[in-house]
Structure 1
Amino acid sequence: MNPDYLHILMFAAAFVALLSGYHVALTLGGIALLFAGLGIAFDVFEPRSLIFWPSRILGNMSNQVLAAVPLFVIMGVVLEKSRVAEDLLNATGRLLAGVKGGLGYSVVLVGALLAASTGIVGATVVTMTLIALPSMLKQGYDKRIASGTIAAAGTLGQIIPPSIVLIVLADTISNANAEANQAMGRPPSPVSAGDLFSGALLPGLLLVGLYLAYLAVMAFWKPSSMPARSKTADADLGIETPSKARTAFAFAAPLTLILAVLGSILGGFTSPTEAAAVGAIGAILLAGIRVRMDEANPGILMQLSFAGAGSLILLILTVWALKLGWVGGLEPDAPPSAFFTGSVIGKLYAFLICTAIAVGTAAAVFTLFLTKKLQTSLNGAAEITSMVFLILICAGLFSIVFRGLGGDEFIEHMLVNIPGGLVGALVITMIIMFLMGFFLDFLEITFIIVPLVAPPLIMLGADPVWLGVLMAMNLQTSFLTPPFGFALFYLKGAAPPEVDTPDIWRGALPFIGLQLIALLAVVFIPQLVTALVK
């Protein structure tokens, strides 16, 4: 064995082990320790390098960006378990009743709203499949169009902020940017999750527009494949039409959450972590209200939850007004907290509004606890969060050993010497990431591949935010691509028996083409990413 090629063998061994079905995190950690031992035996790896692993774990624990991950996960899981998505889809379908392709449009719009309020792809695809696919098939939709629309709409959570993908990518890209700047002797220029959120917004909306345009063309060209929903569909199926208040809540709940979370981040009023905390509390309040709506006598718990939700909205509006200078009496550069601590009126206002939020949240938590939704939500959130951070920890060990064996120098030399400079290196990187997306989850690619390829690409002149959005869109496309697209597996697992795998594959192909169009648009029009980045 030639020790000079241990880094290549290490990467190949990890890839084969992951394809064999072993646990991702333990595979990365085990392969790293195995090749660290081989490197020590061949005297090509310095064992003292492993000392950096505990400090890297400590750095992850204190990373404020990554602290947003469990909060966004809780927000998404709580909304999923409380049937807010189901209400939104049904309300949108009724709103577009009588329009050819109306249910398809509803699926795309609801997918975009869920993406902006949950950011969890697997949960969104499964939820949409269970709720929308049976209705679309009963209405007479072509199985391919129905399944393709749901799979594509579900993957919007990859690119539309706030997204778990964008959060972990932001941390990885920020580290890669710092490494590249250090290698070039430049001062550090941090990349925040808010920058990536801002950069991904227009490409995400572009994808939504392309999906809707494709469905409009299909509804015109093949109207029989996307028939209009009968305005009496609920009555025909024996479903009671919900009240106007229930319908209004179905739209108001996710829109309010999006405005509170995403609006605060893009407006520069809060950090992603602070916005995630607001989103988690808001999701619990909305879920508590939604659960109580199913009861004949909602009682005081629903009223308290409503008061808490209203107080949270009022607090957010107050902070926005203070940041925008709409409230007088503050120094020019004073933070919003000065209003709440600088006078008796401000302190009383803060006490009352925070007390209302706390009491409303407690009432919502008690409601979710009584209906067993709190336990299932927290269990699901704990599983997802544990998976993310265990992979992150073991990927850190993998990265240390791979770099110690010279793997980072090999990758950098290969990319820098590819013909075509940045364009050639970017094309090769995108192709590799796209193909790996067939077999590996976005977390493995983000934690293993991105730290290796991003620094040399940034050194070649790639804007880090633009590069991060391109990578997120690439991973989103691979989620849809047969035969190994993860979204297709999620959909097949929850789909009715009459929907075959070939139907799902053929239905996804047009949307893959639309995603490639959007990806090329971002490549040739970088302003789609950089226009909103401050």
Structure 2
Amino acid sequence: MQILSLLSFLSLNEWMVLAIFLSFIYLLFRGVPVAYALVGVSLGFTLLAAFVLDPFEDAINQYIAYDDTRLDYKRISANAGRFFGGLINNPVLVALPMFIFMGLMLDQSGVAQRMMRSMQVLFGALRGGLALSVMLIGIILAASTGVIGASVVLLGVMGLPTMMAQNYSKPVATGTIAASGTLGILIPPSIMLVIMSDQLAISLGDLFMGALFPGLLLGFLYIAFIVVFGLIRPSAMPLPADREPVTIKIVLDVMLSVLPPFGLIMLVLGSIFFGFATPTEASGLGALGATLLALASGRLNLTVFKDVMRQTLNTSGFIFAIFVAANFFALVMRRYGGDDIIKDMVLGSFQDPNHVVLFILFIVFLLGFLLDWIEITLIIMPLMLPIIQGLELAIDGYGVLGDPSVVWFAILVAVTLQTSFLTPPVGFALFYLKGVCPPGVTIGHIYRGIIPFVLLQLLGLFIVFEFPQLVTWLPAVAYAN
């Protein structure tokens, strides 16, 4: 009891919120799956409120301030339907499995392989041509699929052996592939933006349009780095000995190889931009378009279709399981007053609204070293929403955009979360790539290769922070039309 009296400078709710977060992090480090960790912590602190805090309220109140906002565990059962039913009834989340299906089916269509072959010939005479080919294909795939694992593996299988045969520096080759493969999480259509739209209760169309320029900005920074690095360190990107001269036939072949994925991009994003379809409807169009591309290439059969359906079900099921668990976790946190505690702590620490945003982005960046983007999006974003809505941010929505400050913040977080795929120890792009690396390429080569691209991502984040118009202008134009 003397220990409790020493800790009385915090209220009971504040200690419970801290204990909830520490328990969750402990379970993750113990190797417990994310969904189980979320449910286990939430259930444990619900039972704690029911069988310890309520019966012994008077005794506890002698040592720690017992707030009136303590958890009412009876409301857990009253709101049980929201854990699952609310997700199933959400029309935005219907787009999630559709976009996953579209990305997986596009990988089976052979479109990327054809682009790689034609671009290798086109850029073969340029220093760093292979790296440029990989980067451009990564950008195109990012705009037609949001499945990071599939993109990284596909680019690694197609590009890495060729780059190694041409004596590319191993860090340069692996860093280029890992960075280009992660662009799909930002450039729409992106499954991360679908989830953010649900968690922040904002338009998915706003997020898709708002993320387009920042995503292309990152792609431009990557390409500029490859060109400049090739000039500074030519030995890291040697020219091929058997390079072919560029002809009209080669240029036409590249244009024809890019046409199918470009058509798919226009089908999805164009239908949203011009108001022909909602993002949910556009996801169905994208899934159908990718299926038709696979059929036209002669690669669609019953085995491929069943495999894509099975992978879509597994990926969607994994994400929705975390959704349900995160809803349970968020409800328990909210009943302990966690959202108010965090809001008061953050707003009380900074006077300038921009400093608040920078502090949140810094926390998200650090969490990216330890957690996956899904956990960060589902746990952190709902807690940060009241803070952002309470700030007086001078973000120009051009008189059309509904809530420009929240859209701008969401894209800032999305750009920050790009780093979570590349930063060890849990950067998933690093492990996807290592799984398809040829002998002689170590995890150390990959770690060294991603350093400049992480720095470029932070540079892109700074540019988007300084120029919010990169986010808000296109959604405003789309709605004005």
Q: TM-score, normalised by structure 2?
A: 0.86
For the pair 1:167 / 2:177, whether they are aligned, the reply is no
Secondary structure of the structure 2 residue equivalent to 1:482: coil
Aligned with residue 122 of structure 2, among 95, 98, 118 = 95
Whole-angstrom distance in 2 between the partners of 1:74 and 1:474: 26
Q: Work out whether residues 3 and 39 of structure 1, in 8 Å CA contact, stay in contact via their aligned partners in 2.
A: no
Tell me the C-alpha RMSD between the 2 structures. Answer: 1.9
Displacement of 1:22 after TM fit? 1.4
Residue among 111, 115, 118 paired with 1:84? 111
Q: Which residue of 1 aligns with 2:431?
A: 489
Q: Per-residue deviation at 1:500?
A: 1.4
Aligned residue for 1:338?
Answer: none
Per the alignment, residue 211 of structure 1 pairs with 222
Structure 2 vs 1, CA of residues 269 and 409 (structure 1 numbering), >3 Å: closer, same or farther? same
Instruction: Name 1:363's counterpart in structure 2.
Output: none
Measured in 2, the distance between the counterparts of 1:286 and 1:230 equals: 35
Question: Is the CA contact (8 Å cut-off) linking 1:49 and 1:404 kept in structure 2?
Answer: no
**Aligned residue number for residue 62 of structure 2:** none
Per-residue deviation, residues 338-380 of structure 1 (Å, max 9, x unmatched) = xxxxxxxxxxxxxxxxxxxxxxxxxxxxx421xx211111111
Check conservation: 1:260, 1:278, Cα contact below 8 A.
Answer: yes
1:368 to 301, 320, 333: 301
Structure-to-structure mapping, 1:143-154, within 5 angstroms: 143-154=170-181
Give SS of 2:143's match: helix
The residue type paired with residue 6 of structure 1 is M
1:268 Cα shift?
2.7
Corresponding residue for 2:26? 16
Q: CA deviation at 1:487?
A: 1.4
Render the CA deviation track for 1:256-295: whole Å, top value 9, x for unaligned: 1011111112233211111100000010110112235xxx
2:169 counterpart of 1:142:
yes
Q: 1:258 aligns with which of 243, 252, 265?
A: 265
1:406 correspondence with 2:417: no
Contact map agreement 1:257 1:279 (CA 8 A) in 2: yes
Q: Distance in 2 between matches of 1:415 and 1:291?
A: 56
Instruction: Provide Cα deviations, 1:161-215, integer angstroms capped at 9, x if missing partner.
Output: 11001111111122xxxxxxxxxxxxxxxx2111011111111111111111111
Q: Which residue of 1 aligns with 2:43?
A: 33
Aligned residue for 1:382, secondary structure, equals helix
- In 2, the alpha carbon distance for the partners of 1:69 and 1:377 equals 14
Distance of aligned partners of 1:158 and 1:56 in 2 relative to their CA distance in 1, 3 Å threshold: same
Letter in 2 for 1:85: A
Distance 2:29 2:126 in 1: 45
**1:53 touches 1:396 (CA, 8 Å); kept in 2?**
no
Q: Structure 1 CA distance, aligned partners of 2:90 and 2:121?
A: 44
Q: Equivalences for 1:313-324 in 2 at 5 Å?
A: none
Kindly provide the amino acid, as one letter, of the partner of residue 224 in structure 2: A
| Contact 1:19/1:439 (8 A) holds in 2 | no
Cα offset, 1:231, TM superposition: 5.2
In the other structure, the counterpart of 2:366 is 435
Aligned residues: 434
Superposed, 1:181-200 pairs within 5 Å as 191-200=202-211
1:372-393 C-alpha deviation (Å, 9 max, x unpaired): 2111111111100001111101
Aligned match of 2:282: 275
Which is worse superposed, 477-486 or 109-118? 477-486
* Candidates 430, 444, 467, aligned match of 1:502: 444
Q: Structure 2 vs 1, CA of residues 221 and 246 (structure 1 numbering), >3 Å: closer, same or farther?
A: closer
Contact 2:144 2:264 in 1 (8 A): yes
**Aligned partners of 2:454, 2:390: CA distance in 1, in Å?**
30
Q: Does the Cα contact within 8 Å between 1:197 and 1:266 map onto a contact in 2?
A: no
2:389 & 2:102 partners in 1: Cα distance? 33
Q: Secondary structure in 1 aligned to 2:238?
A: coil
Write the distance in 1 (CA, Å) between the matches of 2:179 and 2:44.
40
Q: 1:252 to 1:230 in 2, by over 3 A?
A: farther
Asked if structure 2 preserves the Cα contact closer than 8 Å seen for 1:200 and 1:469, the reply is yes
Partner-residue secondary structure (3-state), 1:153? helix
User: Deviation of residue 453 (structure 1)?
Assistant: 1.4
3-state SS of the aligned residue for 1:417?
Answer: helix
Range 434-443 or range 416-425, more displaced: 416-425
The alpha-carbon distance between structure 1 residues 439 and 250, as it changes in their structure 2 partners (threshold 3 A), is same
**Separation in structure 2 between the aligned mates of residue 55 and residue 389 of structure 1, nearest angstrom:** 13
Identical counterparts, % of pairs: 41
Confirm or deny that 1:45 pairs with 2:71: yes
1:285-296 correspondence to structure 2 within 5 Å: 285-291=292-298
Structure 2 CA distance for aligned equivalents of residues 265 and 89 of structure 1? 29
| Kept in 2: contact 1:53–1:400 (CA 8 A) | no
1:249, 1:220 → 2: CA distance? 30
* Bigger Cα displacement from structure 2, 1-10 vs 255-264: 1-10
SS of residue matched to 1:445: helix
The 1:415–1:79 alpha-carbon spacing in structure 2 relative to 1, beyond 3 Å, is: same
Q: Deviations over 1:56-111 (max 9, x none)?
A: 52221111111100000000111123332222222221221211111111111100
The change in CA–CA distance for 1:288 and 1:249 in structure 2 (over 3 A counts) is farther
Aligned to 1:449: 380
Structure 2 unaligned regions, length at least 5: 5-10, 55-69, 394-404, 477-481
3-state secondary structure, aligned to 1:67: helix
CA drift at 1:23: 1.7
Is 1:74 paired with 2:101? yes
Distance 1:53 1:436 in 2: 29
- Report the Cα distance in structure 2 between the residues aligned to 1:248 and 1:424, rounded to whole angstroms: 46
